[in-house]
Amino acid sequence: MSDKITLQTKLSYGLGALGKDFACAPIYIFLMFYFTDVAGLSAAFVGTIFLAARILDAVTDPMMGVIVDNTRSKFGKFRPWIVIGTLLNAIVLVGLFSTHMFEGPALYLYAAAAYILWGLTYTIMDIPYWSMIPALSSERQEREKLVVWPRLFASLAWFITGTYGLHIVGVLGDGNQGDGFFNMAMLIAVLFVMSAFLIARNVKEKAAPANAKPAEKFSFKDVLIIIGKNDQLKALIGTVLSFQIANLLVGGFAIYYFSYALGNPELFPVYMMVAGAAEVAGVFLFPRIAAKLPRKHLWKMACGFPILSCIILLVMAVMFPGSTLLIGLAGAAIKFGVGIANALQTVMLADVVDYGEYKTGRRSESVIFSVQTMLVKFAGAAGGFIVGVGLSVVGYVPNVEQTADTIMGLNFMMFGLPAILMAVSGIVYQRYYRLHDGFNKDAVENDMVDVKPVQA
């Protein structure tokens, strides 16, 4: 059977990512702000529930990977869960942005329960969605061409949400932010469900990987073997986690930075607009960049651009406060790197699936791709926790002018800490990751001789 992926499959898969990321972008960009400034929750409480929910994900995400890998149906093992998860998550998304309707202890209890449910239902949909990639083609070039489509549409969703999200909230709420967020969630839920049914109709598993054992069943105990024996998966976890914490820390914190540190919230959509366009460009150019540069340099490039962004913001804060040009350049730099990283990490995970089969003798796309879902959610939660606790530590008070010490703390959280985390990501990648050109048994066996082991 041919491993070439059709245009219809690529387009449908990409539009699926558009709906999927329209549903999650508001969570990572606006939920902290919605909880603190609209619903009235304390920042420290919000940061804590963000982190607590992700501890639960450390168990449930791999479990969902096992469930998907054990699924046998006439619709395949991925599409049924994409539809089920989308329907459930769409309902919870609307419920999550109903939090402002509660008061007192019920407000805190409802917010915690709704956010935990959002993470659980998102898992049901997201893991099978990304797990499909190795099953659609076994050729690395085809995978690289395919992954551009969902990453482009996903970046478009984040671009629209970041740039126009608050404006849409204002229009839909007629000036009332609580009603605006609720109505936006309703609209997104409809688009989300439509995108899932498009995937179910047009995206089908075409390529059974070589030496695959379709009848093989996985137990939850197998997760420890699948993950524990895959040193390249652990290297990838360290690399991606530190990168995405920095990325989502900036994304979740930007609205506070522009509103309070710079005192000009109108700069936030400017930053997000340029940043979103740059992320789309990074994803779009990824195949061309990957064709011209050695793969081992791509992740370091992806880390370098966000570090450059942090330097630009530092220069702006010291020498040119509020410079629209420098803010635009900073947004473009960080998100161009993020675009490259998002496309590259998906290809890297597909390679890790092949490598994991070599190491353990068992192939599990969904268990390994569950790590991607877990990492993105944990990175967002860690970023939210840092923002929540950090705001409390620096003395942030909502809807008032901040002190000089608080503004200094806001600056460090916007561009000091993210630069450190990006540097850590590049160092971990350089030291431990080895599947730069995909999985090749002979090359891996020769290369792994000199690799320092990654501790579990």
* DSSP class per residue in 227-253: HHT-HHHHHHHHHHHHHHHHHHHHHHH
> What is d(CA 425, CA 402) in angstroms, rounded to the nearest whole number?
32
What is the longest distance spanned by two Cα atoms in the chain?
A: 65
Span 80-102, pLDDT tens digits? 999 999 999 999 999 999 999 99
Confidence label for 109 from pLDDT (cuts 50, 70 and 90): very high
Span 266-296, pLDDT tens digits? 888 888 889 988 988 998 888 889 888 888 8
Span 113-123, pLDDT tens digits? 999 999 899 98
Q: What are phi and psi of 71, to 5 degrees?
A: -75, 130
> What is d(CA 251, CA 323) in angstroms, rounded to the nearest whole number?
19
Helix residue ranges, H only, 34-103: 43-69, 79-96
Q: Is the pLDDT of residue 40 over 80?
A: yes
> What is d(CA 158, CA 355) in angstroms, rounded to the nearest whole number?
32
Walk me through the domains of the chain, giving residue ranges and CATH numbers: 10-204+219-445 (1.20.1250.20)
Average pLDDT of the chain to the nearest whole number:
84
Percent of the chain scored above 90 by pLDDT?
Answer: 36
Span 320-362, pLDDT tens digits? 988 889 999 999 999 999 999 988 887 888 788 778 777 777 6
Q: Please, which residues have CB within 8 angstroms of residue 319's CB and are 6 or more apart in sequence? A: none
Q: Is the pLDDT of residue 446 over 70?
A: no
Q: What is the pLDDT of residue 146?
A: 86
Q: Is the pLDDT of residue 424 over 90?
A: yes
Residue 105: exposure state from Cβ atoms within 10 A (0-12, 13-18, ≥19): exposed
Q: Please, which residues have CB within 8 angstroms of residue 295's CB and are 6 or more apart in sequence? A: 436, 437
Range in 45-54, 162-171, 361-370, 383-392 the model is least confident about: 361-370
Q: What is the pLDDT of residue 441?
A: 61
